[in-house]
Amino acid sequence: MRSVCVVGLGLIGGSVLRAAAAAGRDVWGTTGSTADAQSAIAEGFTVVDVDTALRRAAAEDALVVIAVPLPAVDGVLRKVGDLAPECLLTDVVSVKAPVADAVAKYAPSAQFAGGHPMAGKSVSGWEASAATLFDDAAWVVTADEETSLFAWREAAQLALDCGAGVVPTTTQEHDAAVARISHLPHVMAAVLAACGADGGPLAMALAAGSFSDGTRVAGSRPELVLAMCEGNRPALLDAVDDALGRLGAARGALASTGSLGATVQSGHSGRVTFDSYRTAGRAQAMVDLAGEDPMEELRLVGTRGGRVIGFDGDMAVVTLPVLSD
Amino acid sequence: MRSVCVVGLGLIGGSVLRAAAAAGRDVWGTTGSTADAQSAIAEGFTVVDVDTALRRAAAEDALVVIAVPLPAVDGVLRKVGDLAPECLLTDVVSVKAPVADAVAKYAPSAQFAGGHPMAGKSVSGWEASAATLFDDAAWVVTADEETSLFAWREAAQLALDCGAGVVPTTTQEHDAAVARISHLPHVMAAVLAACGADGGPLAMALAAGSFSDGTRVAGSRPELVLAMCEGNRPALLDAVDDALGRLGAARGALASTGSLGATVQSGHSGRVTFDSYRTAGRAQAMVDLAGEDPMEELRLVGTRGGRVIGFDGDMAVVTLPVLSD
């Protein structure tokens, strides 16, 4: 099994290190946090400085996993370009276009496929990490026109070894999707929380379930929310424009006819759709990776809401959602 | 103890009937649902037709509780005006201005104070009702300029007997507050759910905690959401305008400077404020109901986020939130 070098040992990076080790891989890591490094070493993990970690990755042909916050990605990739320029490379950052751009700029010879495990916790840092964090989670591995099947499959195998299912999709489609289902929810929660608090002590005393649920993620650490949302600016702008249009239409209908019927019905329909995916059955299929255009076949799996759950020789084993009516 | 006549035996009305009976009151009810009536009778409750129920309320000087959906309130109040025109009257409808207007129109001689228990469930109907539904919940009893202390105290005593704490406030302040913390959350959840579902199967496959929490109430029955939101049109328009302004400002900042700092910080601050009210300490105080302007004193309790938790002779025992820094 290919060894793994994890750069950044917070919640996600630490969990990748633990899960890859638990899967039997040779692993080592590096982190700018002395406290996280000491904790990981005390647990028996190998943690070294970033130069040593990347030199070892180059020497052992390891898979390098970038697991630092988006603002730190450029700096790490400069190091990769210097010390392990042709390495196998993936990342676990929540926005994919800026990482792909930085790879093209600083480590253009790396064999890269981007990654994003859809797993998290309200707490962060090594101490919160766990080998089981990714169990049954969706883990995007980007399959762009320029992505090599080799790099894609190496990144996908890591995700599978960590217990996740692999969602193949393009950088652009990933960023558009997470803008709607992850970043827009943070913006809406922030707007709702501010509107509620503006109602003063009476409103706060009366607030219950609907306000509490709708504003939960507004309690997340602002710097993490900002790094994520601001890093996905073009796609988030599209999503916010969609929300503005719908909220404006609701306002107009309420003011003119007094009806919120279209708004509430489309929202109910959207939530029912979401629930139907969560409870969907799963049909198994295969993608022949030795076929004519395997990357296009893989992208179709992602577009249809499916996942790669394993490899069998040159075949990718796939599950696709089967919605009940 | 004053007997209680409950009109409408769904989740809230049924729970009032049960809780008032459990508190030792003589209770009877009426409902348009044969199934609910049969279930309640099978459990030993007295359920009669609406005319009989209201005639008995007039004869026994009972407190009449309107517990029907907003669209049915006018019809019930016409009956009250005919059959029990001078009765003690309250309600448990989630919007207060339309009920107050209808009382003024159809039962102007009733001794009325409006009510709204901030309790609910995702399920509805008599079968979902419970005597404990209101335990520790906030229960608004409206204290307007024209509200008599006598009517207010009778409605408040019912809320206390049902296990709730009483929040005194005006009809207008109630409707403005719930627009922000109950109705706007439903509109925002509907918008978010529609925007997410528009992302297609890929977005649905990647959606997790933030989308799930942010859209939960979009799964509520549309007819209940519409009755609630559309019934609070003027106050909800103000709240939606506030949300539109904030969302538009977020859009503008993201497009121009790339920063969501102001949006995310104000949202985080709002959520922290909400949490601080949920974990606040409580200081006890008294309001002298024999004093100069007891209704104004009571309204101040609501404005400050406090509750009446009991009566001791002419004194209302009050708790006020004490926020830690």
At A105, phi and psi to the nearest 5?
Answer: -85, -45
> What's the whole-number average pLDDT of chain A?
96
How much is the pLDDT for A325?
Answer: 63
Which residues in chain B have Cβ-Cβ distances shorter than 8 Å to A208? Answer: 118-120, 137-138, 181-182
Q: State whether A185 and A136 are in the same domain.
A: no
pLDDT at position B146 over 70: yes
Is residue B46 domain-shared with residue B117, that is, in the same domain? yes
SS3 B97: helix
The residue of chain A with its CA nearest to that of B197 is: A270
Interacting residues of B127 by C-beta distance below 8 A, sequence separation 6+: B36, B39
Same domain assignment for residues B30 and B158: yes
Residue B38 belongs to a domain: yes
Which of B211, B216, B268 is opposite residue A222, by nearest beta carbon? B268
Q: Are residues B151 and B66 in the same domain?
A: yes
What backbone torsions phi and psi does residue A121 show, to the nearest 5 degrees?
A: -150, 165
d(CA B168, CA B171): 10
- Express each pLDDT in B187-242 by its tens digit: 999 999 999 999 999 999 999 889 999 999 999 999 989 999 999 999 999 999 99
ipTM attached to this prediction: 0.94
A67 occurs within a structural domain: yes
Q: What's residue B325's pLDDT? A: 63
Confidence of residue B306 (pLDDT cuts 50, 70, 90): very high
Chain A segment 98-157 residues within 8 A of B by beta carbon are 118-120, 138, 140
Give the pLDDT band of residue B324 (cuts 50, 70, 90): confident
Which secondary structure element, helix H or strand E, spans residue A28, and what is its range?
A: strand A27-30
A21 and A162 within one domain: yes
| Cross-chain residue pair A219–B268, CB shorter than 8 Å | yes
Q: Does B185 touch chain A (CB under 8 A)?
A: yes
Q: Give domain status of residue B283, yes or no.
A: no
pLDDT at site A124: 82
Q: What is the domain count for chain B?
A: 2
Q: pLDDT over 70 for what percent of chain B?
A: 99
Closest CB to A222 among B182, B186, B265: B265
The pLDDT tens digits for B64-78 are: 999 999 999 999 999
CB contact under 8 A, A217 and B210: yes
- Cα A265 to Cα A37: distance, rounded to the nearest angstrom: 51
Assess whether A13 and A140 both reside in one domain: yes
Q: Is residue B312 part of a domain?
A: no
The last residue of one of the domains, among B233, B259, B285, is B259
**CATH code, A221:** 1.10.3660.10
Nearest to A266 among B194, B226, B244 (CB): B194
Q: Which of A259, A280, A296 is the last residue of a domain?
A: A259
Average pLDDT score over residue span A37-50: 98
Residue B308 near residue B158 (C-beta atoms within 8 A): no
Asked whether residue B294 is assigned to any structural domain, the reply reads no
Cβ pair A64, A80 in contact under 8 A: yes
- How do residues B4-61 score in pLDDT, each as one tens digit? 999 999 999 999 999 999 999 999 999 999 999 999 999 999 999 999 999 999 999 9
Q: Mean pLDDT, chain B, as a whole number? A: 96
Query: Do A121 and A10 reside in the same domain of the chain?
Result: yes
State the nearest Cα–Cα gap between B218 and chain A, in angstroms.
5
pLDDT for the residue B119: 87
Neighboring chain A residues of B247 at a CB cutoff of 8 Å: 187-188, 191, 240, 243-244, 247
Taking residues A203-231, what's their average pLDDT? 94
Residues A125-151 pLDDT 10s:
999 999 999 999 999 999 999 999 999
Question: B297 lies in a domain?
Answer: no
Q: A200: domain range?
A: 174-259
B53/B104 same-domain check: yes
Q: Is residue B165 located within the same domain as residue B210?
A: no
Closest residue, chain A, to B269 (C-alpha): A194
Task: Say if residue B169's pLDDT is above 80.
Answer: yes
**Rounded Cα gap, residues B70 and B85, in angstroms:** 20
Q: What is the pLDDT of residue B123?
A: 77
Per-residue confidence (pLDDT) for residue A155, from 0 to 100:
98
Q: Do A188 and B191 touch (CB under 8 A)?
A: yes
Query: Are A118 and A252 found together in one domain?
Result: no
Work out the pLDDT band at A224, boundaries 50, 70, 90: confident
Q: Comparing C-alpha atoms, which of B230, B224, B186 is closest to residue B69?
A: B224
- Judge if B79 and B145 occupy the same domain: yes
CATH number at residue A133: 3.40.50.720
- A164 with A183, same domain? no
- Inter-chain contact A138–B204, Cβ cutoff 8 Å? no
Among the candidates B118, B150, B169, a domain finishes at: B169
Q: Do A195 and B219 touch (CB under 8 A)?
A: no
Nearest chain B CA: its distance from A216 CA (Å): 7
Within a domain: residue B305? no
Give the distance from residue B62's alpha carbon to the nearest chain A alpha carbon, in angstroms. Answer: 28
pLDDT score for A186? 98
User: Does some domain include residue A42?
Assistant: yes
* A239-256 average pLDDT score: 98
The secondary structure of A296-313 as a DSSP string is HHHHHHHHTT-EEEEEET
The pLDDT tens digits of the residues spanning B265-289 come to: 999 999 999 999 999 999 999 999 9
C-alpha–C-alpha distance, residues B266 and B271, integer Å: 9
